[in-house]
Amino acid sequence: MNKIKYLYCTFAVFLIGVSLAACGTEQADIPWKLTSTLSMSDISSAEVWVYIDGRIEERILSAEEIEEVIELINQIPESAFTDNEALAGTTPEYGLKIESNDMKLNFSQNIGPYGAIELGVGKKTDNGYCYSQWHTDSDDLAALIVRLSGYKKTGEIASDTDIGANGQKTSAGKLVHTFIGGYGMRTALSVNGELLNVAVQTDWYAERYEVLFSRFDWNEADKSEAAKAVKNASFVLVLSAMTDKEPVLLPDADYIKFFGGTDYVLLHENGKDKWYTAVAKSDVSYGYNIDNAPIVPNLAAMVRQEYDGFEIPEQQIRFNTKEKEPEAVAALAVEAYGRLYKNVSPGSVYEIYEYAYDPKDIQILDVSDDGDKFTFVFVLHVRPIVPNTSFWWAGNTCESEKGEGWLCFSRNGRLDLGEDGYWTVSQLGTGGASLND
């Protein structure tokens, strides 16, 4: 058996947004000339997206909706744009993507004092798209994107969708709620009967699962039929409470078990097993695929996707080196980051064939006075097993010049040198990294 890795993370989010990619740190001209003259004939595609319940929902806009969007974009005054060369910001939860033959405009949620919108302008070059980023003060456009995308704050999502609010929780929701209050929640992944990894999720995830479970219809299933159907499951994922600091499943523990490739779920409570089928409710939208057909989700796959992010946390990047120059140290961190994707479990949404990067694409942004911490931006090229998923295409991902099947994206990070002589990644994302703690 492979050595089991224990993965701890306090919160996992999708890295969404726009960042500077392999085109130097110089910002482009204020994009007002572009936004003020944007017309219907300039646009080849336009869609809104929203991050909800652990996934990205995307929707292509109609011609009427595009006209409504253009009208507000044209009205943004020149004074509304603030240079965001430092790439300061947070991970957005909704946005609007507009594409033309040689340009991409990414309008997304901006949380900060410089305007309601973050605008990324991507100009097509021989090496992909070169992005510049701007804070944009337009409450009207932000409100329109919210309406078109269907975005609601996390608390509003829970109150609107959690049927437990009126005492009608699903059986799985009731059970997962009992996992709250200990040392977190144990999430164990097995493939082909072999226990691969164990992740520890916070109580926040149990509450999140309650909401997710409420979006499915649950029906009791025949034990023998269920056992036969899950025999060849592509993976098995087990959720249970952590009653001790060590993530070990105790013999008398309650748990919920999901089986990849099936709709069957096993609830083990008070020593008794009960089988269910969980099928997505017909009145809940999960977005559309690349053929514009409605996506019909599978609960086991969605719970697995929540788990997958725990296998690539930047907290795992830790190393010592004799290198002194920030560029050389950052290159080692980028190499380690690529290896995280190579080492994920089989079937992960983040599974790749290979990765690559060019040290010349690493840019050092700020260095502390003592040299013990610095921020940087880099570009990573990956060849995913399954490239056409929202997990790869959210935010600033684009096709790589390396060839068919290759994608690339940029990230901002911060490296800290500890007293033990080891470098660690303390910040990583599409927003601006900072020397401030």
Amino acid at 389: T
Under the banding of pLDDT at 50, 70 and 90, the label for residue 395 is low
Contact by Cβ (8 Å): 68, 144: yes
- Its pTM surpasses 0.85: no
Q: By mean pLDDT, which of 14-23, 77-86, 110-119, 331-340 is the weakest?
A: 14-23
Number of helices followed by number of strands (H, E) in the chain: 10, 22
Q: How far apart are CA 28 and CA 21, in angstroms?
A: 13
Contact by Cβ (8 Å): 275, 262: no
What's the whole-number average pLDDT of the chain?
A: 81
pLDDT score of 212: 84
Q: By mean pLDDT, which of 16-25, 31-40, 183-192, 314-323 is the weakest?
A: 16-25
Contact by Cβ (8 Å): 149, 95: yes
Mention every residue, 6+ apart, whose C-beta is less than 8 A from residue 16.
51, 56, 91, 92, 93, 95, 108, 394, 395, 430
**CA 325, 328, 329 angle in degrees (round to 5)?**
85
- The token pair at 211 is 């909401």
DSSP secondary structure, 206-231, as one string:
HHHHHHHHTTEEEEE--HHHHHHHTT
**Nearest alpha carbon to residue 258 among 172, 154, 130, 372:** 172
List pLDDT tens digits, range 219-262: 999 999 999 999 999 999 999 998 777 777 888 899 999 999 99
pLDDT score of 16: 29
Q: Which fold has domain 314-429?
A: Nuclear Transport Factor 2; Chain: A, (3.10.450)
Residue percentage of the chain with pLDDT more than 90: 43
Pairing of strands 423-429, 318-319: antiparallel
Q: Is the pLDDT of residue 2 over 50?
A: no
**CA 146, 150, 154 angle in degrees (round to 5)?**
90
List pLDDT tens digits, range 327-353: 999 999 999 999 999 999 999 989 999
List pLDDT tens digits, range 151-187: 765 444 333 333 333 323 788 988 998 888 888 899 9
Distance of CA 265 to the CA centre of its chain: 25
Class of domain 32-151: alpha beta
Higher pLDDT, 292 or 144: 144
pLDDT score of 211: 78
Q: By mean pLDDT, which of 278-282, 286-290, 326-330, 368-372 is the weakest?
A: 286-290
Q: Is the pLDDT of residue 137 over 70?
A: yes
Under the banding of pLDDT at 50, 70 and 90, the label for residue 107 is very high
Q: How far apart are CA 199 and CA 202, in angstroms?
A: 10
pLDDT score of 53: 58
Long-range CB pairs of 333-337 (<8 Å, 24+ gap) are: 333/413, 333/415, 333/423, 333/425, 334/362, 334/378, 334/380, 337/380, 337/411, 337/425, 337/428
**Nearest alpha carbon to residue 384 among 342, 421, 334:** 342
Q: By mean pLDDT, which of 115-124, 152-161, 352-361 is the weakest?
A: 152-161
pLDDT score of 18: 32
Q: Is the pLDDT of residue 115 over 70?
A: no
CB atoms inside a 10 Å sphere around CB 349: 18
Contact by Cβ (8 Å): 229, 262: yes
Which backbone phi and psi does 286 adopt, to 5 degrees?
-120, 20
Under the banding of pLDDT at 50, 70 and 90, the label for residue 274 is very high
pLDDT score of 127: 56
List pLDDT tens digits, range 26-41: 334 668 888 999 999 8
**Nearest alpha carbon to residue 353 among 368, 341, 369:** 341
Q: How far apart are CA 172 and CA 208, in angstroms?
A: 12
Strands (DSSP E) contained in 368-429 are 373-384, 398-399, 407-417, 423-429
Q: Which fold has domain 157-309?
A: Dna Ligase; domain 1 (3.30.1490)
* 3-state DSSP assignment of residue 199: strand
pLDDT score of 51: 74
pLDDT score of 392: 78
Asked whether this chain's domains 32-151 and 157-309 adopt the same fold, the reply is: yes
pLDDT score of 356: 97
pLDDT score of 363: 94
List pLDDT tens digits, range 44-58: 889 998 876 556 778
Q: Is the pLDDT of residue 393 over 80?
A: no
Higher pLDDT, 51 or 201: 201
Q: How far apart are CA 62 and CA 65, in angstroms?
A: 5
Domain boundaries, given as residue ranges, for the chain: 32-151, 157-309, 314-429
List pLDDT tens digits, range 282-295: 766 555 454 555 56
